[in-house]
């Protein structure tokens, strides 16, 4: 396969065939650098060398009734995590202040649970109005399954984006969770889109799925027209259903990122949870494909030390995309 030719065809509007997509995942390790170079050609065409930074605020931890096999916060998990109810508006604002000071482009307010209560939506809405006034940050909410009236309220408050990951393929979904359906997840993304919220939806790779499952979710996210696609690599947590799962190696993870770039060339591809564990010393290579990363900790696992991320970007010669306004004086 001539990856450079295929990359140019993608830039010209081609959607990869299933066979071509699978070839990316089956690429011999000796051909990995040419594949990454071709993926970088696509990335550079649409995003240059800019990198978007994202930061997660875990607004509610644990107490989730869902039975997702990867999640330490699920009802079937015995992982020893910190649990707490929905935090206050003031705590959310403190998180936003830190995000602004660290040149974070998108501040992500994330909460465990099947879906938000009216009180949860009210707290987020009130906080976001003040975040917009003080910092001008782009805000993404990730609160679970969403209803029309909730999406409308969040949009009215100034929320820019809503995240709800498909996580895996429709075929593999019931292996991961049975407390909600794949269609429930798709429906939440569609509700967000309907009310003008930028759709953010991605995948978790390494959950005992097949390579065809990975290809299928990349196509599904293309069909959903998700603006931002976080690609998570399973960091199997003791006490979860997927405890002990080690299906990934660093080179395969890079091939997965290339696949998502080839199938979703114009989209924000974000290296998300598990990058530190699964990409290790090859993390910089991932940014030649992806154009976005999380900085700081995740929900119940630690991320890379923040200074290391900024140093990595500097050494790569990449530019942080940050255009928020200065905070107001109180």
**Catalytic residue annotation:** 64, 68, 71, 108, 140, 200, 270
Q: Alpha carbon 172 to chain centroid distance?
A: 19
Q: Could you identify the residue written with the tokens 């004086």?
A: 329
Pairing of strands 319-320, 50-60: parallel
162 phi/psi in degrees, rounded to 5: -125, 130
Report the largest interatomic distance among the alpha carbons of the chain, rounded to a whole angstrom: 59
Q: Give the orientation angle of helix 250-263 with respect to helix 18-25, to 10 degrees.
A: 160
Start-to-end Cα distance in the chain: 59
Scanning the chain, the segments in alpha helix (DSSP H) are 3-11, 18-25, 32-47, 89-101, 118-134, 148-157, 173-176, 182-194, 211-224, 250-263, 275-279, 283-286, 306-316
Rg (CA), the chain: 19
């Amino acid at each position: 396969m001539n990856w450079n030719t295929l990359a140019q065809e993608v830039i010209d509007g081609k959607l990869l065939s299933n066979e071509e997509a699978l070839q990316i995942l089956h690429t011999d390790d000796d051909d990995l650098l040419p594949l990454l170079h071709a993926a970088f050609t696509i990335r550079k065409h649409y995003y240059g060398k800019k990198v978007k930074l994202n930061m997660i605020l875990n607004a509610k931890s644990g107490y989730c009734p869902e039975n997702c096999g990867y999640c330490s916060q699920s009802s079937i998990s015995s992982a020893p995590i910190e649990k707490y109810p929905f935090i206050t508006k003031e705590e959310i604002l403190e998180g936003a202040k830190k995000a602004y000071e660290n040149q974070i482009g998108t501040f992500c307010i994330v909460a465990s649970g099947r879906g938000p209560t009216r009180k949860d939506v009210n707290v987020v809405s009130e906080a976001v109005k003040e975040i917009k006034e003080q910092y001008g940050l782009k805000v993404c909410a990730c609160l679970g399954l969403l209803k029309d009236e909730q999406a409308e309220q969040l949009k009215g408050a100034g929320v820019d984006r809503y995240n709800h990951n498909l996580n895996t393929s429709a075929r593999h979904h019931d292996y991961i969770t049975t407390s909600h359906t794949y269609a429930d997840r798709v429906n939440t993304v569609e509700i967000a889109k309907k009310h003008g919220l930028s759709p953010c939806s991605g995948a978790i790779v390494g959950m005992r799925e097949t390579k065809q499952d990975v290809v299928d979710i990349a196509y599904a996210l293309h069909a959903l027209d998700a603006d931002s696609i976080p690609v998570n690599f399973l960091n199997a947590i003791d006490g979860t259903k997927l405890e002990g799962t080690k299906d990934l190696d660093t080179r395969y993870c890079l091939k997965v990122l290339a696949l998502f770039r080839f199938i979703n060339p114009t989209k924000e591809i974000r290296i998300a949870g598990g990058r530190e564990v699964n990409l290790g010393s090859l993390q910089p290579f991932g940014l030649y494909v992806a154009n976005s990363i999380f900085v700081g900790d995740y929900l119940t696992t630690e991320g890379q030390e923040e200074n290391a991320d900024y140093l990595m970007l500097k050494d790569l010669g990449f530019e942080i995309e940050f255009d928020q306004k200065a905070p107001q004086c109180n």
